[in-house]
Chains A and B, each alone.
Chain A
């Protein structure tokens, strides 16, 4: 145990204010360049998304054709092609998917259509072998995906709806599959493609040694890495750290990532600090698991050093440190929470109903209101749930649902995390709709 604590200190020992400043300025610069196309080198261009949500396209122009890294959402592929065509008429030789998420692979149809229309040969599509499994899974889980996307991204025009014709259709499967790595030579440049486990199991990053350009997709996303998303499957915290370190070893001058293009030394620090942060969480969760703690305690016990708290590249706005803890935890253990009552539990509504024998729903409602006044929103939410889930009292139901909606709204404003906030707000909207249906 002492050894592990030493390791913890070793990961974060001396803080360097110079580097703090560097990464803060880099973030400012990268985010100011959002939405703007950038010619970084004569043959290396960043093509921006129109909606600033999906990652940019990395365009490499060679005499023998273009290499394209990522294609945006299905709805914006055509827009990206149009912009690319203001820079070059060269055919699309190769398209690489950074991973199979729809905001990176979905726009490829427009690139294929452009090639067909111009009489160019069909571009080759390179992806990791797990992209095929992912596309199959998306079609298998079509209804689920529509539901959870509506929960976590309710306001986005690109959110697939249940009736979205694109959902489950129009998957352009890759024709060239990579398991570990692939290199090819095109128009005087080397293209080295490497597989990584990171946000997904199908990430590919691209390295062009002659230009010192790395294209890494969502391996850097501009917030705390999104492992442990509450709505998504297992992700790969420790492998993510390894991928970041491998990329950093190449010492890239330009790093094409989710929020834009990072540069040089500052970019290097962002890669390594993110890796350090992920390793730190991994080691802390493992240490606490080995000390026989369960998830509730582990969430409580892990505290972060100032360097992390001040790093804008690690803020919990999209990914969240608590979610990362969940991810690491579920990577190493099962779903048991340490309380045997929860192994074969009764429905929570039955338990809550039982407690309502001793406390009137009116009292709970009043108490939740009181807690809200005291600004204990999260606790008030837990309390109001007893009435929402437990009661059958029709007279109170409307007021209860409205209060819960208000509490969710308030809690949503309190939490820094975009995904949690959206789930809370969407749930509030649903509750208000339900309340409307109740007349009294």
Chain B
């Protein structure tokens, strides 16, 4: 059996995730701890204000690093949104406070964070399934976790005790915390401005790489225009530093460039998709027509390793349109397997397998994949099926090699493995 490196993530490998965990000092009283999601710690006379808690596994190391530098008690924890790589570690921070005998810190988040947590509980099995598909297993430790045995949300997750709707400002010690609600990757994002330190803690309102609108595995409703607005507002404050949700600390000029260019990119995508929708095009045609402008093609802040242009188009189209694809046959369709069987009756199974193999050798794995699907979906003849499954797994491996997007690569490789396994079991 082929060995497949399914642990590819947006950073490419676990070593790179670890390398990304670089701590930085913004000011003597404002620190950034690097993790899969970053953590910001403000040290005030009245206690610590923690912004984000990273994912649960990283939170343990981060709390240890923090405690090596300060013994102050935690006054407040702000969760920038409900994704588990930002909120997942909250239980670890609360445990630290409890172990020290401190009074429980406040947990502040946007009012939609509890709604998200409720949804995660309701769809727990599905969330685990999606993470397995897109991240191919555990994203750290290199071990594949059997996801079925635990809930998606850790039982020590803390719901916020204070929520807000549009904005909220408060002082802790000598520092002011301005909380701004924004929509973008999620509907519940908070970015925080600390005026005394001219610093923005952005949550996922700002991160490197192409904005992840239209992720194939996640909620379709994401907010391209609102995201652009949030980044423009952040840039408008001219912050000296931006602590992003992921990746290294950003200084003034760099932060401004990323904000304004990503915002311009999102607005451009919006206008392209809306323009084509208004001219009566369906998704397939729009995907073919929108081309990345030259000026952005090689920019790191729009790299397509995680989000990608194709997904962004999907996301915007899905937000403003329905699920109809322009083919009336697909409104109340027959099953794929039924259609494939019917086609195979006319084309012959052997022909299609041979052609798919030929296409693979001609380095056209995507077309080969579409063809072999007919056989996999449409025939029950064991020998044919077995041959088709083995071939399909080879094609998927070849197709995965052509992919720069980590999520897609994982999905293809996982399916390659599944096809190989199924063939073996026949």
Contact = CB atoms under 8 A, between A and B. Distances in A.
Interface stretch (B11-19, B80-88, B198-206, B336-344): B336-344
Contacts of A357: 351, 355
Given A142-B278, A340-B396, A378-B332, 20 more contacts: A286-B126, A290-B123, A290-B126, A291-B125, A333-B126, A334-B130, A335-B214, A336-B216, A339-B373, A341-B370, A343-B216, A343-B411, A354-B371, A358-B351, A364-B346, A367-B342, A378-B334, A411-B328, A423-B324, A423-B331
Contacts of B122: 286
B328 A423 contact: yes
Interface string B382-426: 000000000000001001000100001001100100000000000
B333 A382 contact: yes
Interface string B145-163: 0000000000000000000
Contacts of A332: 119, 123, 126, 219
B367 interface: yes
B369 interface: yes
Contacts of B220: 234, 330, 333-335
A383 B373 contact: no
A346 B373 CA distance: 13
A144 B280 contact: yes
Nearest to B125: A290
Interface string A194-237: 00000000000000000000000000000000001111111000
B347 A355 contact: yes
Nearest to B403: A344
Given A140-B274, A358-B351, A358-B355, A333 B130 contact: yes
Contacts of B320: 137, 141, 144, 233
A382 B342 contact: yes
B334 to A, nearest CB: 5
B346 A367 contact: yes
Given A341-B369, A355-B371, A143 B279 contact: yes
B336 A296 contact: yes
A110 to B, nearest CB: 29
Q: Is the interface of B mostly helix, strand, loop or mixed?
A: helix
Contacts of B339: 379, 382-383
B219 A344 contact: no
Contact of A147 (B217, B218, B280, B348): B280
Nearest to B356: A354
A364 B343 CA distance: 9
B267 interface: no
Interface string B268-298: 0000001001111000100010000000000
7 closest residue pairs by CB, A with B: A290-B125, A143-B278, A230-B324, A336-B216, A358-B347, A289-B126, A381-B329
Contacts of B238: none
B422 to A, nearest CB: 14
A356 B335 CA distance: 21
B274 to A, nearest CB: 6
Interface in A44-62: none
B408 A343 contact: yes
Interface string A231-249: 1111000000000000000
A219 to B, nearest CB: 20
Contacts of B396: 340
A363 interface: yes
B225 to A, nearest CB: 10
A196 to B, nearest CB: 16
A263 B122 CA distance: 35
A290 B396 CA distance: 26
Given A332-B123, A344-B310, A385 B370 contact: no
Contact of B408 (A344, A385, A424): A344
Given A290-B126, A339-B373, A351-B370, A141 B351 contact: no
A333 B127 CA distance: 9
A351 B335 CA distance: 18
29 contacts: A141-B277, A141-B320, A144-B277, A144-B278, A232-B322, A234-B221, A286-B126, A290-B126, A322-B332, A332-B219, A333-B218, A334-B215, A334-B218, A335-B214, A335-B318, A343-B408, A346-B370, A348-B327, A350-B367, A357-B351, A357-B355, A367-B346, A371-B342, A378-B329, A378-B334, A381-B329, A382-B334, A420-B328, A420-B332
A130 interface: no
The listed residue with most B CB atoms (<10 A of its CB), out of A233, A332, A358, is A358
Contacts of A336: 133, 216-217, 411
B321 interface: yes
Given A229-B322, A348-B284, A378-B332, A354 B355 contact: yes
Interface of A: 137, 140-144, 147, 228-234, 286, 289-292, 296, 300, 322, 326, 330-336, 339-341, 343-348, 350-351, 354-355, 357-359, 363-364, 367, 371, 378-379, 381-383, 385-386, 408, 411, 415, 417, 420, 423-424, 427
Contacts of A415: 331-332
B331 A424 contact: yes
B129 interface: yes
B299 interface: no
Contact of A292 (B129, B399, B403): B129
B321 A144 contact: yes
B216 to A, nearest CB: 4
A231 B396 CA distance: 33
B124 interface: yes
Given A300-B335, A347-B284, A354 B367 contact: yes
Given A289-B123, A333-B217, A379-B334, A233 B342 contact: no
Contacts of A408: 328
A351 B130 CA distance: 28
A326 B408 CA distance: 23
Contacts of B216: 334-336, 343
A9 B338 CA distance: 31
B319 interface: yes
Contacts of B348: 358
A385 B327 contact: yes
B331 A230 contact: yes
B366 interface: yes
A355 B329 CA distance: 18
A341 to B, nearest CB: 4
B222 to A, nearest CB: 10
A339 B331 CA distance: 19
Contacts of B124: 290
B206 to A, nearest CB: 23
Contact of B412 (A230, A289, A326, A340): A340
A332 B121 CA distance: 12
Contacts of A420: 328, 331-332
B10 interface: no
Given A142-B278, A332-B119, A333-B218, A340 B415 contact: yes
